[in-house]
A = this chain, B = another copy of it.
């Protein structure tokens, strides 16, 4: 039995979609401190059974919160409250990650003995490859809506 169970109330008559109701209520619980950092949420199937809805609807709510960096969904493991729940810090963290990844990319490639031109070249190649992959096929994308 998880913390969430029995604490989410769905209004099936509401104009607000179920997945938004779920996401909103979880958001509130985090804001109130009812859900603490690192805490595990019920699985999509558990919560879906509780609420008598399809687990994909719960998954959609989770994905929304995941993209907002409020929770962390991990395939095969479960979903957890994100370690950094502060909205103010998010942008800073995000930018720091960008710097970190750039630094890491440079460090590791040059440590392998590649020259700067080679490293940049590899990135360009990859960019072009990604372009042709995402434009050509009948694209399934993630960040839609």
Chain A residues engaging chain B, CB cutoff 8 angstroms: 12-13, 17, 28, 31-32, 72, 74-75, 77, 94, 97-99, 101-109, 111-114, 116, 118-120, 122-123, 125-127, 130, 143, 145
**A102→B46 CA distance, assembly (Å):** 31
Q: Is the CB of A13 within 8 A of B103?
A: no
Number of copies: 2
Q: Is the CB of B105 within 8 A of A101?
A: yes
Q: Is the CB of B13 within 8 A of A111?
A: no
**A20→B102 CA distance, assembly (Å):** 20
Q: Which residues of B contact A126 (CB under 8 A)?
A: 99, 102-103, 106
Q: Which residues of B contact A120 (CB under 8 A)?
A: 123
**A106→B43 CA distance, assembly (Å):** 30
Q: Is the CB of A114 within 8 A of B98?
A: yes
Q: Assuming A12-B72, A12-B74, A13-B72, is B112 touching A31 (CB within 8 A)? A: yes
